[in-house]
């Protein structure tokens, strides 16, 4: 899960790119928000994950936020951290492995888009940023979220992504300073990840997700990209509350990871168990 940039916004302007199509379908009046699900690549193992991703496409899930697993995330709760550790212990889920996975599965998807989440220190810091971004785009990722990117590299990241034609996911907390939220919104070209509250993934805001309506409205003035809300979203009611706040999509992370873990521990078919989970959290279309 992402670590939002809470540093004071700068006045410099970086080149951005525009997604070829909205990351989430446009909401009709009274319609439900799109659904984005977070999983660590390698949990389940990549062959099982391929079947699961194809199922997400069948079910019409708008976005898979797919993380290249990395250890000891300071922003993740225990559920996501354990998932990353399982993936790392199995091996075969480094950045190159995950890009190979994306290149294999992406051509078979018609409705689900893949936003790749990569940690700067663990997955990208030892690589040339421009070349790595180009490789991620060439693999077929629809968007890129760089976790814990050093602020000094923000403009280079945005420029590299624009050059590669790769939309970026930017992040901010709901209680970040106004200037920081405005800058994050302005640079979002895939979608803006609005973190519901300061804390670790899996914890919900005390006032509920619907209370983010004013923040979502303020952010609309700075971006034409979709706004997705995450952290503490785990049930159908939470997804509906995100929609009531006016956001375009709800991101479910810890609950999705937990559903995978429960299926593996019970010896169930992970894909079918996860299909049940998807149907349990997705509101009925109005």
Interval 29-80: pLDDT, tens: 778 999 999 999 999 999 999 999 999 999 999 999 999 999 999 889 999 9
Phi, psi (degrees; rounded to nearest 5) at 34: -65, 165
CA distance linking residue 206 with residue 12, whole number of Å: 35
The answer to whether 76 and 69 have CB atoms below 8 angstroms apart is: no
pLDDT at 31: 84
* More confident site: 205 or 257: 257
Residue ranges of domains in the chain, CATH in brackets: 34-281 (3.20.20.70)
The answer to whether 26 and 81 have CB atoms below 8 angstroms apart is: no
Asked if the model's pLDDT at residue 7 lies above 50, the reply is no
CA distance linking residue 117 with residue 114, whole number of Å: 9
Q: What is the pLDDT of residues 143-157, one digit of tens each?
A: 999 999 999 999 999
CA distance linking residue 241 with residue 155, whole number of Å: 34
Joined together, the tokens standing for residue 223 give 């971006």
List the one residue out of 74, 23, 17, 70 whose CA is nearest residue 193.
23
pLDDT at 204: 63
CA distance linking residue 242 with residue 222, whole number of Å: 19
Asked if the model's pLDDT at residue 18 lies above 50, the reply is no
Confidence at 261, pLDDT banded by 50, 70, 90: very high
Model confidence, pTM: 0.91
Q: What is the mean pLDDT of the chain?
A: 91
- CA triple 71-87-34, angle to 5 deg: 90
Asked if the model's pLDDT at residue 124 lies above 70, the reply is yes
- The mean pLDDT value for 80-95 works out to 97
Residue 269: count of CB within 10 angstroms of its CB: 13
List residues with catalytic annotation: 65, 76
pLDDT at 121: 96
Q: What is the pLDDT of residues 167-182, one digit of tens each?
A: 999 999 999 999 999 9
Confidence at 277, pLDDT banded by 50, 70, 90: very high
Asked if the model's pLDDT at residue 208 lies above 90, the reply is no
Asked if the model's pLDDT at residue 286 lies above 60, the reply is no
The answer to whether 219 and 176 have CB atoms below 8 angstroms apart is: no
């Amino acid at each position: 899960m992402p670590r939002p940039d809470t540093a004071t916004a700068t006045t410099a302007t970086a080149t951005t790119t525009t997604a070829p199509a909205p990351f989430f379908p446009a909401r009709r009046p009274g319609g439900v928000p799109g659904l984005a699900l977070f999983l660590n690549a390698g949990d389940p193992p990549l062959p099982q994950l391929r079947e699961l991703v194809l199922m997400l496409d069948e079910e019409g899930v708008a976005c898979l936020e797919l993380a290249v697993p990395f250890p000891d995330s300071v922003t993740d709760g225990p559920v996501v951290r354990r998932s990353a550790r399982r993936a790392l212990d199995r091996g075969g889920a480094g950045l190159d492995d995950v890009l190979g996975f994306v290149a294999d599965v992406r051509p078979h998807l018609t409705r689900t888009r893949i936003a790749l989440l990569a940690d700067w220190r663990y997955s990208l810091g030892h690589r040339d940023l421009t070349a790595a971004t180009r490789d991620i785009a060439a693999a077929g990722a629809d968007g890129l979220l760089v976790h814990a990117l050093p602020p000094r590299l923000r403009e280079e990241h945005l420029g590299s992504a624009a050059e590669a034609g790769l939309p970026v996911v930017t992040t901010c907390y709901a209680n970040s300073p106004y200037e920081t939220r405005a800058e994050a919104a302005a640079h979002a070209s895939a979608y803006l990840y609005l973190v519901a509250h300061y804390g670790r993934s899996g914890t919900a805001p005390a006032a509920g997700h619907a209370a983010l309506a004013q923040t979502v409205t303020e952010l609309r003035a700075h971006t034409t990209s979709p706004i997705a809300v995450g952290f503490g979203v785990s049930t159908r009611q939470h997804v509906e509350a995100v929609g009531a706040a006016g956001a375009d999509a709800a991101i479910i992370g810890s609950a999705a990871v937990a559903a995978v873990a429960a299926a593996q521990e019970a010896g169930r078919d992970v894909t079918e168990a996860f299909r049940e989970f998807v149907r349990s959290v997705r509101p009925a279309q109005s």
